Structure 1
Amino acid sequence: MPEPVYISAADSYALRGWVWRRSCVSSSHPGPVVIINTATSVRCRYYMPFADYLYQQGWDVVTYDYRGIGDSRHHSLRKLKADWIDWGQHDFEGVLRYVARRFPGQPVDVVGHSAGGFVIGFAQSAHRVRRIFTMGAQYAYWRDYAPEARRSMFLRWHLAMPLLALLIGYVPAKRLGWMEDTPKGVALDWARMGPRFEHNVRRKRETPEGEPEAEMLVRGFARVQAPILALGIDDDPFGTRPALDRLLEYYSSSERYHLRLAPTVVGQPSIGHFAFFHKRFRDVLWPLAMEWLRTGNPPTTYSWRAALSTA
């Protein structure tokens, strides 16, 4: 059974998460540990079946809620200053440091869903990661949305969401049936995204050396050395081919594979942006992530290879 834990972010914010850990680990051959980075404003509990699967396959597992989300929401969101950069720079960084302390010597893998694959590049310790698997990972540039859904998505995520954030001080998304309530800074990051993320976040902010902070953030992605398998589902309106390629371009030091999957390949009419993590895909899709994390070898069967490209 998973153990509830508190994890200190890099700036000491208290994050709540869950840990699956084996009682006996060989000191000479320690097994791997995987961190699951969630999608924007999705509770880490959503990924528990997938985390349990990886645990059964030999990984120790850490899941957590970003600040302001789920069990890491401690006070009113109106007073919380948090954006996507904080989630990577402080929250994911804090989890990496926690794993280094609690799982010393164990290889560290990461699964990133949606923005969870984006925030990896902001963590100072991201160079410690061995392998990365992402599902629908991108940073929500609206022109990359699927054409048939682009208008409605633009109205919701780039007009209604930032307006609510500015008027109320946060996005009451849970009451609207969208997702978890969301900090204003995260909503505004999402809403203002353009083709290059560094042109739209932390604007006019500088490092102590007088450099634009956004330029420093971009360089951080080159610290990531881990090979990446980025899975995109053809009926995912967020995770289109252009959207995934746009993010992968930043991970310039990584060996990158972009795998496209049509739902019909696995006998499904639809998978979309979220269903990959549903239990019904345990025997159909989850082994794809598991084998990549275990071996670092891209898929080799004909049906997968036909849709695989190398960045």
Structure 2
Amino acid sequence: MNLQQDTSLAPTQIELPLPASASGEPFKEPAADGFILGGFTWRHAAQDIARPVVIINAATSVRCRHYSRFADYLFANGFDVITYDYRGIGESRPASLKNLDASWSDWGALDFEAMLKRAQREFPGQPIDVVGHSFGGCAAGLGASGHVIRRLVTVGAQFAYWRDYAPAHRWRMFGKWHVVMPLITMICGYFPGKRLGWLEDTPAGVVRDWATPTGRYETRPSGRAIAARAGALPFATMTAKTLAISITDDPYGTIEAIERLLRYFSGGTNTHLRIAPEDIGEAEVGHFAFFRSAYQATLWPIALSWLQNGDLPPDTPGRTVPRSESF
């Protein structure tokens, strides 16, 4: 579907060979509670207050290195970039996860918030944008400094309410993530996902949040805590212009799941773009493939254009979901 006819909105895009590993500069950053987070920075040599810096929020238990090629792409197209791992994951993993008290809300209110503070300190005066994958889109609304975010792009972003899973996969996914995962976590004290081939090892508090079968974030275990402490969830304080991208064969990112999260972002303007794999000549894309370099020419320019000018490029594949389809 042609969403734009004005070719003046076409994004400026640099095609580049992408390396196999992270090319950013490693850093350590303490969160407000003192927990040391690890990540990578892509920084241009000359500071420019007009140049945006993009923070990339990972999906649940996906290492930030998964997004390195996309970070290279943004850097080559004129952005400074920060990637990081939430506490308990990858560069931010302690020696043992058994005694780590970490939740989804910690990942947003403490870890993502630390990156917002770092961006303001390391790139003073520059616009701050965010890209959030899966839970990373939800985390973008949990930082107290969210009001500084200019533009937000989310991909398959939701907080895993089981009734929103695609019907064909719902019961298998419910059994895997809401029965088996919490049971194994109770036995081990954390979820040994890497050993099982199910994402990275994951702190028990994150598992509790994911597995709780409620349709409101504030009724998840850590959501209740943050709402009680602050009086309300911080989502609405964010005024960013948001593009939510969903893929039709993503069993997590159904229309219902994406819209459920978007309703929390009531302080800004939201656009929901839904793309079918056949729209870009593919048989499947799913939940994780968007950030693979195979989609540099087809999917990445959509996010790039939004970050560059807050609009969709001409001939954008897919369709925008009207508010009438929100439930």
1:301 aligns with 2:315: yes
Of 67, 70, 89, 2:90 maps to 70
Of 231, 238, 262, 1:216 maps to 231
One-letter amino acid of the counterpart of residue 218, structure 2? E
- Partner secondary structure for residue 270 of structure 1: coil
Distance in 2 of aligned mates of 1:54 and 1:290: 7
Counterpart residue number, 1:3: 25
Q: How far 1:300 sits from its partner (Å)? A: 4.7
Counterpart residue number, 1:186: 206
Q: How far 1:108 sits from its partner (Å)? A: 0.3
Q: How far 1:25 sits from its partner (Å)? A: 2.5
1:119 aligns with 2:156: no
Q: How far 1:301 sits from its partner (Å)? A: 3.0
Q: How far 1:200 sits from its partner (Å)? A: 2.5
Q: How far 1:217 sits from its partner (Å)? A: 4.2
Q: How far 1:168 sits from its partner (Å)? A: 1.1
Of 34, 44, 64, 1:22 maps to 44
Distance in 2 of aligned mates of 1:32 and 1:45: 21
Counterpart residue number, 1:231: 245
Q: CA RMSD in A?
A: 1.6
Q: Which runs of 5+ in 1 are unaligned?
A: none
Distance in 2 of aligned mates of 1:229 and 1:204: 27
Quick check: 1:259–1:309 contact (8 Å CA) kept in 2?
no
The structure-2 alpha-carbon separation of the partners of 1:299 and 1:160, relative to structure 1 and needing over 3 Å to count, comes to same
- Partner secondary structure for residue 34 of structure 2: coil
One-letter amino acid of the counterpart of residue 266, structure 1? I
Counterpart residue number, 1:199: 219
- Partner secondary structure for residue 231 of structure 2: helix
Quick check: 1:122–1:217 contact (8 Å CA) kept in 2?
no
Quick check: 1:109–1:130 contact (8 Å CA) kept in 2?
yes
Counterpart residue number, 2:254: 240
- Partner secondary structure for residue 141 of structure 2: helix
Distance in 2 of aligned mates of 1:8 and 1:192: 29
Counterpart residue number, 2:120: 100
Q: Which has the higher contact order (CA 8 A, sep 6+)?
A: 2
The structure-2 alpha-carbon separation of the partners of 1:122 and 1:216, relative to structure 1 and needing over 3 Å to count, comes to farther
Of 269, 284, 288, 1:270 maps to 284
The superposition leaves residues 93-116 of structure 1 with CA deviations (integer Å, 9 ceiling, x where unpaired) of: 001101100000000000000000
Q: Which runs of 5+ in 2 are unaligned?
A: 1-22
Q: How far 1:308 sits from its partner (Å)? A: 4.1
- Partner secondary structure for residue 44 of structure 2: coil
The structure-2 alpha-carbon separation of the partners of 1:59 and 1:180, relative to structure 1 and needing over 3 Å to count, comes to same
Distance in 2 of aligned mates of 1:225 and 1:31: 20
1:41 aligns with 2:61: yes
One-letter amino acid of the counterpart of residue 47, structure 2? V
Aligned length: 302
Percent of residue pairs bearing the same amino acid type? 49
The TM-score normalised by the length of structure 2 is 0.89
Distance in 1 of aligned mates of 2:275 and 2:60: 22
Counterpart residue number, 2:80: 60
The TM-score normalised by the length of structure 1 is 0.93
